[in-house]
Amino acid sequence: MVVPALLYAFVSAIIPFTHTFDVLFALHVVHGALLGLFVPATLMIIFRNLPIKWWVTAIALYAFRTAFTQNSGTALLDFYVQHLGWQFLYWQDVALAPVMGMLAFFGAPREEVNRDLLHHADWGGMILFGTSITMVFVAVDQGNRLDWFENGFVVSTLLAGMTLFVAFLINEKLAERPWASIGAIGGRNLVLMLTVGMFYMMAALSNTMLTTNYLTTVTQLRPEQIGTTLIQWVCIPLVIMCPFAIWAMHRIDGRIVLMIGLSCFAVSAIIGTSLTSQWNGDSFRTMFVLQGAGHILTFLPVIVVSIAHGDPKKAIAVGAYIQVLRLLGQEVAQALMTTYLRKQEQLHSYLLGLNVEGSSQNVASAISTVRHSLAAAGMTNSQPRATSIISQLVQRQASVLSLIDAFWLTFFCSLGALVVMAFVQRAPRGPLSA
């Protein structure tokens, strides 16, 4: 952890001074690869070195980090750009990365390299798994832009990734020392919990995507306005609920905590279905509070209950698969939601357009009213401008209607997660379950 942290700080320091695209691209590849080491390494340290009684607290901090950074990032980004400069988006890591390395150096016990494990490592499995997930990730990431299965690149990349993943599964069955045995997540309850996790990824988009989409495109708020609202009504409730979630996981069945978290997302989605074009940032306060609580009360029990149902000796493998689920699942959820919003907006634009054409007298009257207002204000070319304003109003309503449909989708995902959770058995009593 120490050497990668220092290298990460160095790369972060020089990126803002780079002006050549090829060098900038290479530095970002190194930057991303190093960043990808830290979270899995943290999970490994938790499961290998911490006493089991501290696992819930450590996992809670991991779950908290995910939701907190998603909602505080807008405010932090705007602060840097407005007051310090965009370079500090990278330079903040110059100070933070060495601190992280120092904490790892003094906090984690020193261990000798297991050369026997290194010599007999399942390198083939690692390459197959990493390549397959990367190709699927690329296909999903580009799917919406390239119209999914209408594009040969997306289809070929997705098929290649799935084929390599099947090869990885075969390799794990045949390998003498499998790198990440699929059997670690093969149990019935684990499969159900990972399914709940996928539903959670979709339900959480009501916070991380839909509300910010509305505030940006419909109300056209500036980043500092959106960021301040998210800090006040999502991040602060999240901070308050984190200790409560840890306390609850030690004392009651984790499934009950999970049910409360999913219910928070379901209720917030129902509130979102009453969305209108008149809403502003303050209109989302209740939704934001529910979503902030829902994040920690859902993601924490998903991880803890999953590990509690598995073999403690395979906790590292389970944690690795959960990390893959979080990254790939989130990308899949965002891509699907982006496509859904685009399709629904096109549908509502078409339907609203039919009504506009069918009531041309009313439309002409509205355009005339706007035109006279613009002309009175001294604007030239008032007729084209008035038509453009009416068109923008129709587009705005189409966006609102598509977001309402998306809130319904997140509501049904929350319900789906609750239904799947009903089939999850109580975890065996132990340090991770009450």
In order, the DSSP letters of 37-75 are HHHHHHHHHHHHHS-GGGHHHHHHHHHHHHHHHHHHHHH
CB within 8 Å of 136: residues ≥ 6 apart:
157, 158, 161, 162, 165, 328
Same domain assignment for residues 190 and 170: no
- The pair phi, psi for residue 433, each rounded to 5°, is -145, 145
Determine, yes or no, domain membership for 58: yes
| d(C-alpha 44, C-alpha 12), whole Å | 25
Place of tokens 């944690």: 319
Quick: pLDDT tens for 63-100: 898 889 888 888 888 888 888 888 888 889 898 888 98
Report pLDDT for 358. 46
Task: Give the percent of the chain with pLDDT over 90.
Answer: 34
* Per-residue confidence (pLDDT) for residue 54, from 0 to 100: 86
Q: Are residues 300 and 266 in the same domain?
A: yes
Return the pLDDT at 319: 73
Q: What's the CATH number where 281 sits? A: 1.20.1250.20
- Residue ending a domain, among 178, 197, 214, is 178
Lowest-confidence region among 210-214, 233-237, 386-390? 386-390
- pLDDT at 274 > cutoff 90: yes
Residue 272's pLDDT band (cuts 50, 70, 90): very high
pLDDT score of 314: 72
φ and ψ at residue 430, rounded to 5 degrees: -175, -165
DSSP for residue 176? S
Same domain, 212 and 298: yes
Q: Is residue 383 part of a domain?
A: no
- Percent of the chain predicted with pLDDT > 70: 88
pLDDT of residue 292 exceeding 70: yes
What value does the mean pLDDT take over residues 271-291? Answer: 92
Q: For 95-142, give the DSSP string.
A: HHHHHHHHHHHHHSPP----HHHHHT--HHHHHHHHHHHHHHHHHHHH
pLDDT recorded at residue 413: 96
- 289 vs 234: CA distance, rounded Å: 5
Q: Residue 387 pLDDT > 80, yes or no?
A: no
Q: What's the Rg (C-alpha) of the chain?
A: 25
Mark 35-52 as b/e (b = at least 16 C-beta within 10 Å): eeebbeebbebbbeeeee
CA nearest to 432, candidates 51, 127, 53? 53
pLDDT tens sequence across 187-226? 788 889 989 999 999 999 998 899 999 998 888 888 878 8
Same domain as 260, residue 127: no
**Is 15 within 8 Å of 24 (Cβ atoms)?**
yes
Show the domain range for 161.
122-178
pLDDT tens digits, residue range 307-331?
Answer: 888 776 777 777 777 778 888 888 8
Same domain? 336 vs 417:
yes
Which of 178, 199, 224 lies at the terminal end of a domain, its last residue?
Answer: 178
> How far from 272 is each of 223, 224, 290, 331, CA to CA, in Å?
21, 22, 12, 23
Asked if the structure places residue 365 within a domain, the reply is no
Q: Is residue 85 a part of any domain in this protein?
A: yes
In a domain, 42, yes or no: yes
Query: Residues with Cβ < 8 Å from 163, sequence gap 6 or more?
Result: 132
Q: What is the mean pLDDT of residues 37-48?
A: 78
Tokens of 190: 């684990």
- What is the spatial distance between Cα 108 and Cα 256, in angstroms, rounded to a whole number? 33
Residue of 286, 236, 304 whose CA lies nearest to 57: 304
Residues 90 and 127 in one domain: no
Angle ∠(229,62,115) on CA atoms, nearest 5? 150
Q: Report how far residue 359's alpha carbon sits from residue 184's, in angstroms, rounded to the nearest whole number.
A: 62
In a domain, 82, yes or no: yes
End-to-end distance of the chain based on CA atoms, in angstroms?
A: 34
**Pick from 178, 202, 226: which residue ends a domain?**
178
| 230, 331: one domain | yes
Residue 359 has pLDDT above 60, yes or no: no
Angle at 334 between CA 88 and CA 199, to 5 degrees: 120
The pair of three-digit structure tokens given for residue 267, joined into one six-digit string: 């209720």
Q: Token pair 């999913």 is at which residue?
A: 262
Residue 414 has pLDDT above 60, yes or no: yes
Instruction: Say whether both 194 and 172 belong to one domain.
Output: no
CA distances from 376 to 57, 183, 362, 392 (A): 64, 74, 21, 21
- Helix, strand or coil, per DSSP, at residue 433: strand
Same domain, 169 and 188: no
Report whether pLDDT(184) > 60: yes
Nearest CA to 28 out of 38, 37, 16 is that of 16
Residue type, 57: T
User: From CA 169, how far away is CA 188, in angstroms rounded?
Assistant: 18
Per-residue pLDDT at 258 exceeds 50: yes
Domain presence at residue 363: no
At 421, list the tokens: 């959770």
**Size of the chain, expressed as the number of residues it contains:** 434
User: In the block, which residue shows the tokens 């939701």?
Assistant: 67
The tokens for 395 are 């587009």
pLDDT in tens, 96-108: 888 988 888 887 7
Q: For the chain, what is the domain count?
A: 2
Residue 114 lies in a domain: no
Is residue 402's pLDDT more than 90?
yes
Average pLDDT, the chain: 85
Question: Between 86 and 153, whose confidence is greater?
Answer: 153
Q: 143 and 25: one domain?
A: no
Do residues 193 and 160 both lie within one domain?
Answer: no
Q: Are residues 167 and 229 in the same domain?
A: no
The distance of Cα 202 from the centroid of its chain, to the nearest Å, equals 9
Return the pLDDT at 291: 95
Using an 8 Å Cβ cutoff, are 2 and 97 in contact?
no
Q: How confident is the model at residue 187, as a pLDDT?
A: 79
* pLDDT score, position 118: 67
pLDDT at 329: 86
